[in-house]
Amino acid sequence: MISLNDQYSVAILKTVFHSLERSISRAVSNYLQTNYAVDVPVTTEQPKQSSFGEMALPVAFQLAKQLKKAPVMIAKELAAGLSGQIEGVAAFEVANGYLNVRFDRGWFAREILTGNGFETQEFSIRKTIVEHTNINPNKAAHIGHLRNAILGDTFVRMMKAMGTRVETQNYIDNTGVQVADVVAAFHFVEKKTAAEVAELAKQPRFDYLCWDLYSKVAQMEEVKGWRTETLHSIESGEGALSEMGHVVADAIVDCHLNTMLRLGIQYDVLPRESEILHLKFWANCFELLKEQKAIYFENEGKNKGCWVMPGSAFRENAGEEDSKVIVRSNGTVTYVGKDIAYQLWKFGLLGKDFYYRKLRTYPNGSVCYVSTATREGAERVQFGGGTSVYNVIDSRQSYLQDVVVAGLKALGYPNQADKSIHFSYEMVALTPRTCVELGIELSEEDKTKTTVEMSGRKGLGVKADDLIDQLIERAQVEVDSRHADKSKESRTKVAEQIAVCSLRYFLLKFTRTSVIAFDLQEALSFEGETGPYVQYAAVRANNILRKVATLPDFKAVLPEEVLRTVLETEDLWQLLLDISRLESVLEAAVKSGEPAALAKYAFQLAQGFSKFYHDYRVLDEADEARRNVLLWMTMHFAKQLEKTLNTLGIAVPEYM
RNA sequence: GCACCCGUAGCUCAGGUGGAUAGAGCAUUUGCCUUCUAAGCAAAGGGUCACAGGUUCGAGUCCUGUCGGGUGCACCA
């Protein structure tokens, strides 16, 4: 049995495919320079049909005009000139003006097998900061929050797999109106004391209790007055309401961390708004903004008495009315103002820092820290000061993100402004069918729509833990019926792994710009393009490997000629080619910031293997050489798919 | 009113830097378990890539406009 547990290594291995791709485009480029004296970028692409070979170069089309020759002629000359010049290339062919490349299949497979031609990539010293999750600590997390956290967490894993140093932050707004509303509900409606709330907060699903309370109080007329009083207490940091605010926020943050941990999501540090206030981060930022004249004091109009940022800073054709208030006429700072200060801190530009204490140690041993306001009891750790910052925030907040970036620019930090990336994504909405299933009453207007937006205020949404529970329950039924012989403990573990996989894949398979119309039945399915389908392929591959007492020494028993002969079979060759594309796909997915690309790749790999599994009976193969190739491919597949799944935050179960 | 996103099969969605016959899953119909696990495999039907112009040897992809749908434009976060 091979070890399938290797975590991504510090340096990444580049595939043979990658290297070959580069040596081909370099050779073509050189040839064009010496023989035609032209300098054009040589791009490669994957042919639509496998019968055209492994790689296609449309370079002849680009040159047709410049050289005043027909594309077919150019391509033919290139094919003739380059023939036999590149190691690993069996032949060049010309079709429809394309220069198509056929790999030497035996060479290619042997390179993968022996690990020749692999190169290491340098490990980055610069730090990238990714901020995600950021749920208001006043109610249970819902599936919209899950999209954020899973997207962020997966992107972090992808960058780490590429060798990037990443710090994961989860910002906690523990002093805002959302928390205040729940505190007001406890105090004014439920008539609870801080001690009583602290007692309630001990129950595991305190976040559910607050979910209901919040939607109740948010719709009450009196809430405005209560909110003001509560906010005042929270901001001053004194009084029973303030104490209750801390109790509520801390308990709910704990609930959120538990929910996220169920999905394998962890954080390095939780910077909190309360510390931003108490350590007066804003004061520094305010001085900087005034010095640089990034904001001005408004003497007239609707914003009279406020410090505002001119609309022209973040918007084209902006008028006076587009100005954004940074400091209110009563002297308090807005959310955007605080966010500019926070963003400066992330880049190490604020000249101030938090103190930290341990919040929890995760089962894998890593520690999650939380900000504190005092030096006493603080740990000697350092966070922030990144060279690029990704803020995973839904697209509805792009306007505010633009203002923050404009603030950085106005302060004289154009580089940091460029490195401030709003990793935006569209929201998760519910299908009307799902609303009906959940017993949510719809207005006449909502019934006609294709999707219904979730709302914490209205208590309208699918809670994260509820969905995870349902998925586990469903997986458990399947696992129990298939593997009655296994222990209860082991079956539960497998069911959980399947549930997590199902959920993560479901939220990852959509591209970021697509609004997810959440359909409960679709999300609960384990067939077709789902996470469990992909896991199943990995499990089947491992089953084959497990049944072999000792795997042969593939390097010894599989010379190039044997590989070449067996890989003449087209579908085997295509599968091997697909398996070897992982690093290229990962690189492109990180570059475009699209985890969905990696998820889709995992699915395609699984599809390819499922077909292979059906068409070839590896263990029954009579021809020993052929059997060894099939076994090797199975092992190679299992490794590469497991690596892909790990990067997606998905585990491969022992059995399914 | 202004800004951003979306419009591809009945439904839900993929389609890097323009390239060859536009792809998956679901649903529908039909085959395949005495087999390394059927959470699987195979086959069929299903398309004016919203519409109209433009750029190009070549456009689902780039540009402009129109029409639909979503979101944002607070002294809330």
Residue A329 CA distance to nucleotide B53 C1' (Å): 52
Torsion of CA A188, A189, A191, A194, to 10 degrees: -70
Q: How many Å from the CA of A613 to C1' of B36?
A: 8
Nucleotide nearest to A301 (CA to C1'): B75
For residue A170, pLDDT beyond 90:
yes
Q: Would the Cβ of A96 be found within 7 angstroms of any atom in strand B?
A: yes
Q: For residue A484, what are its two tokens?
A: 């009655």
Tell me the C-alpha distance between A526 and A533, whole Å.
7
- Torsion from C-alpha of A288, A291, A295, A296, nearest 10 degrees: 140
Average predicted confidence (pLDDT) for chain A: 91
Q: Is A35 exposed, middle or buried (0-12, 13-18, 19+ CB in 10 A)?
A: exposed
The Å distance, CA of A62 to C1' of B59, is: 16
Residue A240 beta carbon within 7 A of nucleic strand B? no
Residue range A182-210: mean pLDDT, rounded: 95
Is residue A11 over pLDDT 50? no
Looking at residue A119, what is its pLDDT? 52
Residue A66: predicted pLDDT:
77
Strand B contact with A528 (CB < 7 A):
yes
Q: Which residues contact A448 (CB under 8 A, 6 or more apart)?
A: none
Residue nearest to nucleotide B14 (CA to C1'): A600
CA of A532: nearest nucleotide by C1' is: B39
Q: Which residue is nearest to nucleotide B37 (CA to C1')?
A: A540
Do residues A103 and A89 lie in contact, with contact meaning Cβ atoms separated by under 8 Å? yes
Answer with the residue of higher pLDDT: A621 or A457.
A621
Q: Which residue is nearest to nucleotide B73 (CA to C1')?
A: A399
Strand nucleotide closest to residue A44 (CA to C1'):
B17
| CA of residue A541 relative to chain centroid, distance | 27
- pLDDT band with cut points at 50, 70 and 90 for residue A413: very high
- Does residue A316 surpass a pLDDT of 90? no
Contacts of residue A120, defined as CB under 8 A and 6 or more positions apart, other chains included, come to A11, A12, A13
Q: What is the mean pLDDT of residues A308-320?
A: 77
Reported as a pLDDT band with limits 50, 70 and 90, residue A236 is confident
Domains of chain A by range and CATH? 16-114 (3.30.1360.70), 268-425 (3.40.50.620), 432-523 (no CATH), 531-647 (1.10.730.10)
Q: Please tell me the predicted confidence (pLDDT) of residue A116.
A: 61
Distance A97 CA to B21 C1' (A): 16
What digits encode the pLDDT tens for the residues A36-84? 888 877 888 888 888 889 999 988 888 887 787 888 888 999 999 998 8
Query: To which residue do tokens 């505190």 refer?
Result: A183
The nucleotide whose C1' lies nearest the CA of A547 is B36
CA A99 to chain centre: 37
A616 Cβ within 7 A of any nucleic strand B atom: yes
Residues 58-77 of A near strand B (Cβ < 7 Å)? 58, 61-62, 64-65
Asked whether strand B has any atom less than 7 Å from the CB of A482, the reply is yes
Considering only CA atoms, name the residue closest to the C1' of nucleotide B23: A48
Q: Is the CB of A329 under 7 A from strand B?
A: yes
pLDDT in tens, A563-603: 999 999 999 999 999 999 998 899 999 999 999 999 999 99
Residue A6 pLDDT > 50: no
- Residue A208, CB, less than 7 Å from strand B? no
Q: CB neighbours of A109 closer than 8 A, spacing ≥ 6?
A: A558, A560, A563, A564, A567, A576
Residue A162 CA to B10 C1' — how many Å? Answer: 42
Q: Does the nearest atom of strand B lie within 7 Å of A33's Cβ?
A: no
Q: Which pLDDT tens digit goes with each residue over A100-150?
A: 999 999 999 999 998 764 455 555 678 999 999 999 999 999 999 999 999
* Cβ of residue A510 lies below 7 Å from strand B: yes
Percent of chain A with pLDDT over 70: 96
Asked if A514 CB < 7 A from strand B, the reply is yes
Give the pLDDT score at A131. Answer: 97
3-state secondary structure A430-485: ECHHHHHHCCCCCCHHHHHCCCEECECCCCECCEHHHHHHHHHHHHHHHHHHHCCC
The packing angle between helices A206-217 and A177-184, to 10°, is 90
Q: Which residues of A357-385 are buried (b: 16+ CB within 10 A; e: fewer)?
A: eebbeeeeeebbbbbbbeeeebeeeebbe
The per-residue pLDDT for A317 is 66
Amino acid whose CA is nearest the C1' of B76: A177
Per-residue model confidence (pLDDT) at position A109: 95
Chain B nucleotides near the protein (CB, 7 A): 2, 4-6, 12-17, 19-21, 23-27, 35-37, 39-42, 57-58, 69-77
Q: Taking residues A281-295, what's their average pLDDT? A: 92
Q: Chain-centre distance of CA A502, in angstroms?
A: 15
pLDDT band at A388 (very low <50, low <70, confident <90, very high): very high
β-pairing verdict for A516-518 and A428-430? parallel
Confidence of residue A319 (pLDDT cuts 50, 70, 90): low
Which residues lie across from A521 on neighbouring strands? none
Q: How do beta strands A89-95 and A98-103 pair? A: antiparallel
C-alpha to C-alpha distance for A602 and A649, rounded to whole angstroms: 12
Residues 6-25 of A with CB under 7 A from strand B: none
Residues 256-275 of A with CB under 7 A from strand B: 273
pLDDT in the model for residue A12: 46
Helices assigned H by DSSP within A237-265? 240-262
Q: How many angstroms separate the CA of A604 from the C1' of B24?
A: 9
Structure confidence at residue A49 (pLDDT): 81
Closest-approach nucleotide to residue A427, Cα vs C1': B71
Averaged over A337-343, what is the pLDDT?
A: 94
* Rounded distance in angstroms from the CA atom of residue A347 to the C1' atom of nucleotide B38: 54
Section A314-324 average pLDDT:
74
**Could you check: is the Cβ of residue A457 within 7 Å of any atom of nucleic acid strand B?**
no
Strand B closer than 7 Å to the CB of A627?
A: no
Tell me, in Å, how far CA of A302 is from C1' of B36?
A: 74
Q: Give percent of chain A with pLDDT exceeding 90.
A: 71
Write out the DSSP string of A131-165: E-----TTS--BHHHHHHHHHHHHHHHHHHHTT-E
Other Cβ atoms closer than 10 A to A422:
19
Question: In the structure, how far is the CA atom of residue A471 from the C1' atom of nucleotide B38, in angstroms?
Answer: 21
Better-predicted residue by pLDDT, A440 or A523: A523
